[in-house]
Structure 1
Amino acid sequence: MYDLLVVGAGPYGLSVASHAAAAGLSLRVLGRPMASWRDHMPDGMFLKSEPWASNLSDPEDRWRLDTYCAGQGVRARHGEPIPVEMFASYGLWFARNAVPEVDERTVVRVSAVPGGFEAVLADGEILHARTVALAVGVLPFIEVPAVLRELGPSYVSHSSHHGDLDRFRGRDVTVIGGGQAALETAALLAEQGSRVRVLARAGRLNWNDVPPAWERPWWESARTPHSGLGCGWRNWFYAERPGLFHRLPETTRARIAATALGPAGAWWVRDRVEPAVELLLGHEVSAAHASDGAVRLETVSRDGELTSLETEHVIAATGFKATRERLGLLSDELRGELAAVADGSPEVGRDFESSVPGLFMAGLVTASGFGPAMRFVHGATFTAGTLVRGVRRRLGTMPVPVRQQRREARDPARR
């Protein structure tokens, strides 16, 4: 029986695994490394977060994004976005160096058993562990507006369904949403020759400012400090003090998690959208009908005006809703034992342990507990160290950890 089973091999799962291995825990890591970044984001996309805020976490801080980039002959500079494909490659490099071998098989069911948990894999093998860390990313939590859910996949898809956008060349596409996913998807569609429009409820789009220089007068830094979630003291608190955020009243945490860092486009995508993409702002889809290869969208404006349009495909860039009910890989019994907070997400304690002893959570599903940082790679550093300490407490192994045998360092440029 393993001490810890890590389910998921994205930034959070790999970071948790690195810290767990360094703590001397016996563990198994399951999942395709960086799957969402490799399979569900089209070429041409960039990280919205700063490179220095996009590191996966290992205890010795050796396997950083800037180290990987340097090995590829690229400088990771403040204010210069990193391509998603480079970030995905960085994650694979991190997995090879900082994590025990990853088992790429899929977990289809996790159940509670005496003494811990059992995980059933897609090929039927069963693994047992005393504790489990769920780091399943965002894909289980895809949110598509109810009005579109009855349309088939040939007519509507979520923005995370697309590893490339080639199928839409020369076609008419409507992207719903006003955040980065919607705006960058629309830009890429326009640049490949699609006829594209953005439809959003907001009356105007929000755009992030160009970040201020890293080196600047002390009084500017004191007024609006840099943080992993952007400038300003509020963002600094969310980014750098998730533990204190967790101490806020539940209603306050839920409100902030739902409203902070709302939909906005990165500064570097604005000039690619406004001249090239039709913007239909202040409108919401009230009905949708599909027939003869087209979708007819009925919309209502903020002042009640009814309009309609026809399009060949709708891409819903409408985010994710991380609720307990969407944790489908948990058995019905185990999922039913999870306590939930007001927004439907699982309740987590100070060490990311759920109400089920030994079952830990990581990533987006913990945003109501530890704040907006859990929606970004930046939150993986706090999560990994804190969660593994919680696992060790649960296992009763809190003495000084056995330091993991250092792997022989290899030239990053050869990875």
Structure 2
Amino acid sequence: MYDLVIVGAGPYGLSVAAHAAARGLNLRTFGRSMASWHAMPSGMFLKSEPWASHLSDPRGAFGLDAYAATRGARAEHGVPLPVGFFAEYGDWFARRTVPALDERLITSVAPCADGFEVVTEDGERFRTRTVALAVGVLPFMEIPAPLRGLPREYVTHSSHHGELDGFAGRDVTVVGAGQAALETAAILTEQGARTRILARSDRLNWNTLPPALDRGLWQSLRAPHTGLGCGWHNRLYADTPGLFRRLPAPTRERIFDSALGPAGAWWLRERFAAVTDVRLGRRVVTAAPTADGRLRLDVTGPDGPSVVETDHVIAATGFTPSLDRAEVLSPVLRESLRTVGAGGRAGGAPEVGALFESSWPGLFLAGLLTAPSYGPSMRFVFGAGYTAGRLVRGVRQHLRATSSRGAVGRPRTGAARTPAGRA
């Protein structure tokens, strides 16, 4: 029987494991270290600043800058780092801080009399008193409704792809206007694909070159640096996730849907200039394969309806943290967890209480699933620093409480799956 099983070995899972190991918990971490980061195209770069991209350990000894020093490199403000470098950093971090990393995936987390039972992809079963679900973003891929259900030969999500050189000479339509869409389109064009952008947004937004870290008191007060970008709104999101959690659910939903919207990194803009077919203010209405093996998109836009025929669509349309997509959780858990609210992309996300515990005692959550509760920073690596130590503190409190009273895990009163505040 473990004290804690961590499901996921990305930035959040590894950070939680580092803190749990330092606290002497009997734990096991499941997942392939930094798997989704290793799978990204080699031409991609981190959008966040290096100093905002550390994984979290209790002593702060294994930051990205420490890893860069071992490579004879520098992690500098204003200098984008390749995602491959960041993935290798995560592996280095895991080797130094995470005991018992088991690369098998977990297929099921279900409640049992004394906590939870987890099942690996090859059928082995383990029991644990608590679980930290840190599965990253991949289970929550968002594909526009008209494109769902089409075979992968026609439609994929941007996160499905490693290298993109297989599209050379083909016509590819990228749907979206954020960093993933713009960078995917740029790489496709560089590798010889005929690429277009289709986006609902009526304009492309670009982040500006970040100002120097040391720029004087007045400029710093006007627009302070944060791990989420400059500005006081970002400062609040970055520094006060605990206060964000206390906002009314409708306010949190609204901010989740609107804050830090789609934008391209400043360093991508010049590369993106090679993408000449950019169609804004447009939405795919229907999609269907054609007789000659292509895909017909019926599109509506400011000039009325139009038709696009393409060889393939890549939906770079983000991720929606809905419990319905957290299929690793048993139906009993999914249907019992209290959710944030009814509307918007946050409506199906679990409500997360103090110290990142869900409404089912002993089930802790980390990463994107907690963003509707704790704010936009949980959509980024930056949020791992706030999460890891607090989550482990919550695990330890739960273990002490259940040990002292002999309680078993069961949903709290009123934890039926209804919008928070409306049960």
With structure 2 as the length reference, what TM-score do the two structures score?
A: 0.92
Q: What SS does structure 2 have at the residue aligned with 1:296?
A: strand
Q: What SS does structure 1 have at the residue aligned with 2:108?
A: strand
Partner AA of 1:349 in structure 2: G
1:42-96 superposed Cα distances (whole Å, 9 cap, x missing partner): 1110000000000000000000101111211111110111100000000000000
- 1:318-329 aligned within 5 A: 318-329=317-328
Q: What SS does structure 1 have at the residue aligned with 2:21?
A: helix
1:4-57 superposed Cα distances (whole Å, 9 cap, x missing partner): 000000000000000011111110000001011012x11110000000000000
> Is the 1:186–1:277 contact (alpha carbons within 8 Å) kept by the matching residues of 2?
no
Partner AA of 2:391 in structure 1: L
1:333-376 superposed Cα distances (whole Å, 9 cap, x missing partner): 12111111111101110111001000000000000100000000
- How far apart, CA to CA, are the structure 2 residues paired with 1:223 and 1:370? 25
- Does residue 384 of structure 2 align to residue 380 of structure 1? yes
After TM superposition, the structure 1 stretch with the greater mean CA deviation from structure 2, 245-254 or 175-184, is 245-254
> Is the 2:9–2:33 contact (alpha carbons within 8 Å) kept by the matching residues of 1?
yes
Q: What SS does structure 2 have at the residue aligned with 1:9?
A: coil
Q: Using the TM superposition, give the Cα deviation of residue 115 of structure 1 relative to its aligned residue in structure 2, in angstroms.
A: 1.1
Partner AA of 2:331 in structure 1: D
Partner AA of 2:219 in structure 1: E
- 1:278-317 aligned within 5 A: 278-291=277-290, 292-302=292-302, 305-317=304-316
> Is the 1:177–1:198 contact (alpha carbons within 8 Å) kept by the matching residues of 2?
yes
In the alignment, what sits opposite 2:361?
357
Q: Using the TM superposition, give the Cα deviation of residue 150 of structure 1 relative to its aligned residue in structure 2, in angstroms.
A: 3.0
In the alignment, what sits opposite 1:268?
267
Which segments of 5 or more consecutive residues in structure 2 lack a partner in the other structure? 342-346, 403-423
> Is the 2:186–2:274 contact (alpha carbons within 8 Å) kept by the matching residues of 1?
no
Partner AA of 1:259 in structure 2: S
> Is the 2:185–2:275 contact (alpha carbons within 8 Å) kept by the matching residues of 1?
no
- How far apart, CA to CA, are the structure 2 residues paired with 1:224 and 1:235? 9
In the alignment, what sits opposite 1:171?
170
1:163-213 superposed Cα distances (whole Å, 9 cap, x missing partner): 111210111100000000000000000111110001101111000011011
- How far apart, CA to CA, are the structure 1 residues paired with 2:236 and 2:63? 23
In the alignment, what sits opposite 2:137?
138
Provide the aligned length of Structure 1 versus Structure 2.
Answer: 396
Q: What SS does structure 2 have at the residue aligned with 1:351?
A: helix
1:227-270 superposed Cα distances (whole Å, 9 cap, x missing partner): 00000111011011111111111111111111100000001111
- How far apart, CA to CA, are the structure 2 residues paired with 1:370 and 1:148? 31
- 1:1-400 aligned within 5 A: 1-39=1-39, 41-291=40-290, 292-302=292-302, 305-342=304-341, 343-396=347-400
Relative contact order: is structure 1 or structure 2 higher (C-alpha 8 Å, sep ≥ 6)?
A: 1
Q: Using the TM superposition, give the Cα deviation of residue 397 of structure 1 relative to its aligned residue in structure 2, in angstroms.
A: 7.6
Partner AA of 1:364 in structure 2: L
Q: What SS does structure 2 have at the residue aligned with 1:144?
A: coil
Q: Using the TM superposition, give the Cα deviation of residue 123 of structure 1 relative to its aligned residue in structure 2, in angstroms.
A: 1.3
Q: What SS does structure 1 have at the residue aligned with 2:355?
A: coil
Percent pairwise identity:
61
> Is the 1:190–1:277 contact (alpha carbons within 8 Å) kept by the matching residues of 2?
no
Q: What SS does structure 2 have at the residue aligned with 1:119?
A: strand
Query: In angstroms, what is the RMSD of aligned CA positions?
Result: 1.1
Q: Using the TM superposition, give the Cα deviation of residue 101 of structure 1 relative to its aligned residue in structure 2, in angstroms.
A: 2.8
Q: What SS does structure 1 have at the residue aligned with 2:163?
A: coil
Partner AA of 2:399 in structure 1: L
Q: Using the TM superposition, give the Cα deviation of residue 276 of structure 1 relative to its aligned residue in structure 2, in angstroms.
A: 3.0
- How far apart, CA to CA, are the structure 2 residues paired with 1:236 and 1:98? 29
> Is the 1:363–1:375 contact (alpha carbons within 8 Å) kept by the matching residues of 2?
yes
> Is the 1:107–1:119 contact (alpha carbons within 8 Å) kept by the matching residues of 2?
yes
Partner AA of 1:357 in structure 2: P
- How far apart, CA to CA, are the structure 2 residues paired with 1:2 and 1:397? 16
With structure 1 as the length reference, what TM-score do the two structures score?
A: 0.94
- How far apart, CA to CA, are the structure 1 residues paired with 2:401 and 2:227? 32
Partner AA of 1:214 in structure 2: L
Partner AA of 2:366 in structure 1: A
- How far apart, CA to CA, are the structure 2 residues paired with 1:348 and 1:68? 32
- How far apart, CA to CA, are the structure 2 residues paired with 1:150 and 1:105? 28
1:274-301 superposed Cα distances (whole Å, 9 cap, x missing partner): 3433101111111111122211111111
Which segments of 5 or more consecutive residues in structure 1 lack a partner in the other structure? 399-415
- How far apart, CA to CA, are the structure 1 residues paired with 2:143 and 2:191? 25
Distance 1:100 1:277, change over 3 A: farther
Partner AA of 2:285 in structure 1: S
